Amino acid sequence: MSFFKKLKEKLSGSQEQEQTTEKYTEGLKKTRSGFSEKMNNLFARYRKIDEDFFEELEEILIGADVGFDTVVELIDELKLEVKRQNTNEPEALREIITEKFVGIYAGDDEMSSELNIQETGLTVILFVGVNGVGKTTTIGKLAHQFKTEGKKVMLAAGDTFRAGAIEQLEVWGERTGVDVIKQAEGSDPAAVMYDAVRAAKSRGADILLCDTAGRLQNKVNLMNELQKVKRVIEREIPEAPHEVLLVVDATTGQNALIQAKTFKEATAVSGIVLTKLDGTAKGGIVLAIRKELGVPVKFVGLGEKMDDLQPFDAEKYAYGLFAQAFEQKESESEDETAE
């Protein structure tokens, strides 16, 4: 059975499966329309695989913000595969490309996209990232989801710097019916965290979601401040924070790789939240992040609604990206057999 067919069958099992697959397919509509159109176009125009074919493929991938080194490696692997299969049929490559994508996203290690949630006691999740990527919104959406699962959730308003940031988190607290621990604007974020962890412990919360101010990774002082925030949490609960999630805007280019590296060094980032994928950006840089730093994507933002933040699933993602191309091809081959 083809890789696509296997994927499709796997993803259309239960009703719940189909619903989230649908979310991916819908959310990635714009992302895909550029990407798979280009892919289809490429496969339609080339009769055989040659240098020009690879050059165009390279451009499509670069256009999706997949880092240059990653693209070159990927193309080299594909060239090798072509040689091994002794083919020069472009169609043969279509599936191999999808497979490679899933391979990189999913990784060959055991690192999964699942969150490290404690079975008993408090789970602390720290959110970090540069300015304007959607940290607070992500926290709001996650608070809603955890609450729906029946968990007791609390929020820590650690962005004491940006005007209106505390109020923004408070609105989310009201919307989701969740307590927000805060201090005045301009106060020490580490002190807010200390309060929040204490309060979460004493009130018996299951999940504490900690917001922090956006900061550019080259600001040494601000990165030091972030380390201090993390240390304060560690001091209260030795194994916390249980997750440090770096929020990355899907429209970001190569700088996202430097972001991931620097934030990882400072705060031991355990996963990526890739936001704003419902635009036309492809967020391909997470491929490079996964490949070079080993940090997995844990959530993707596929829209503005509360439940549009989805746990990342490499297979669904790849299916969402290639669905159109795949289905088209499948129906064609069915037509052929019918004739």
Partner 1 sequence: MMAFEGLAERLQGTMQKIRGKGKVSESDVKEMMREVRLALLEADVNFKVVKEFVKKVSERSVGQEVMKSLTPGQQVIKVVKEELTELMGGEESRISTAKRPPTVIMMIGLQGAGKTTTTGKLANLLRKKYNRKPLLVAADIYRPAAIKQLETLGKQLDMPVFSLGDQVSPVEIAKQAIQKAKDDHLDYVLIDTAGRLHIDEGLMDELKQIKDLSSPEEIFLVVDSMTGQDAVNVAESFNEQLGITGVVLTKLDGDTRGGAALSIRAVTGKPIKFVGMGEKLDALEQFHPERMASRILGMGDVLSLIEKAQTNVDETKAKELEQKMRTMSFTFDDFLEQLGQVRSMGPLDEILKMLPGANKMKGLNNVQVDEKQIGRVEAIIRSMTKNEKQQPEIINSGRRKRIARGSGTSIQEVNRLLKQFEDMKKMMKQMSSMQQKGKKKGGMPKLPFM
- Rule CB under 8 A: which residues touch partner 1? 30, 34, 59, 62-65, 68, 130-134, 140, 161-165, 167-168, 170-172, 175, 185, 216-221, 249, 251-258, 261, 276, 278-282, 285, 292
Residues 6+ apart with CB under 8 A from 236: 194, 197, 198, 201
Are 155 and 181 in contact by the 8 Å Cβ rule? The answer is yes
Min dist CB 222 to partner 1, Å, is 9
Decide whether 123 or 217 has the Cβ nearer to partner 1: 217
Decide whether 13 or 164 has the Cβ nearer to partner 1: 164
**Would you list the DSSP string of 46-85?**
-SS--HHHHHHHHHHHHHTT--HHHHHHHHHHHHHHHHHT
Min dist CB 35 to partner 1, Å, is 11
Decide whether 242 or 282 has the Cβ nearer to partner 1: 282
CA distance 57 to 66: 12
Min dist CB 99 to partner 1, Å, is 24
In terms of Cβ atoms closer than 10 Å to its own Cβ (0-12, 13-18, 19+), residue 177 is exposed
Min dist CB 98 to partner 1, Å, is 21
State the helix-helix crossing angle for 15-27 and 29-45, rounded to 10 degrees. Answer: 80
Decide whether 243 or 278 has the Cβ nearer to partner 1: 278
Min dist CB 333 to partner 1, Å, is 32
Closest C-alpha to 247, from 145, 131, 153? 131
- Residue 185 carries which DSSP code? T
Min dist CB 279 to partner 1, Å, is 5
- What one-letter code names the amino acid at 167? E
Decide whether 71 or 115 has the Cβ nearer to partner 1: 71
Phi/psi at 219 (5° precision): -90, 100
Decide whether 177 or 253 has the Cβ nearer to partner 1: 253
Min dist CB 77 to partner 1, Å, is 19
Are 230 and 259 in contact by the 8 Å Cβ rule? The answer is no
Are 240 and 53 in contact by the 8 Å Cβ rule? The answer is no
Decide whether 221 or 337 has the Cβ nearer to partner 1: 221
E strand or H helix that includes residue 137: helix 135-148
Min dist CB 334 to partner 1, Å, is 32
90 CA to centre of own chain: 30
Decide whether 90 or 134 has the Cβ nearer to partner 1: 134
Min dist CB 40 to partner 1, Å, is 19
Decide whether 105 or 326 has the Cβ nearer to partner 1: 105
244 CA to centre of own chain: 13
Closest C-alpha to 60, from 88, 89, 37, 83? 37
